[in-house]
Amino acid sequence: MSRGCADNTNGIAGGRAPGRDAAEHTTRGASIRWKVGAAAGRRAFGVDADAIELEMSVRESASGEWSGAVRVIGGTESRTLDERPVRVRWSPDRELGLLHIDADGFVRATIDTSNGVPRLLYARSGVLGELGLEGGRYEPSETELSGDR
């Protein structure tokens, strides 16, 4: 993450930022995937596959609006479990090579960007429990970032 918000919102995005031209706007986004055990995935999401992953993402549209989504991926099946507008605080720390994301109770995460490959350091979300996944620790499998960081 070498670049922060180009507007005067101190990293807080919700509606369209004042003074920002949608045509010049580079969208930002982050997604995190976790491996979920087959038994837990069947019980919580009705997915019958040996390998199940949950993907939680936040994306900014060209107009500056943010949305959060949770998808379950298992075998050949991929479906969205939850999608909603969210207010996002996107806070790069250039000195430490970190990106902090606080998405309005949807997800709070810290991603290490210091070596050019995003690596999840911390994530917390109540949304997965709301969707039926039992609390606990789940192994992250992939972290992706896009756009203006």
Q: Which tens digits make up the pLDDT trace of 81-107? A: 999 999 999 999 999 999 999 998 899
Statement: the pTM of the whole predicted model exceeds 0.85: no
Mean of pLDDT values over 103-123 = 94
Could you identify the residue written with the tokens 């620790």? 137
Task: Give the integer Cα–Cα distance in Å for 112 and 132.
Answer: 29
Q: In which band, very low, low, confident or very high, does the pLDDT at 11 lie, cut at 50, 70 and 90?
A: very low
Q: What is the pLDDT of residue 139?
A: 85
Q: What is the pLDDT of residue 85?
A: 97
Whether the CB-CB separation of 130 and 124 falls below 8 Å is answered with no
Task: Give the integer Cα–Cα distance in Å for 40 and 42.
Answer: 6
Mean of pLDDT values over 44-55 = 90
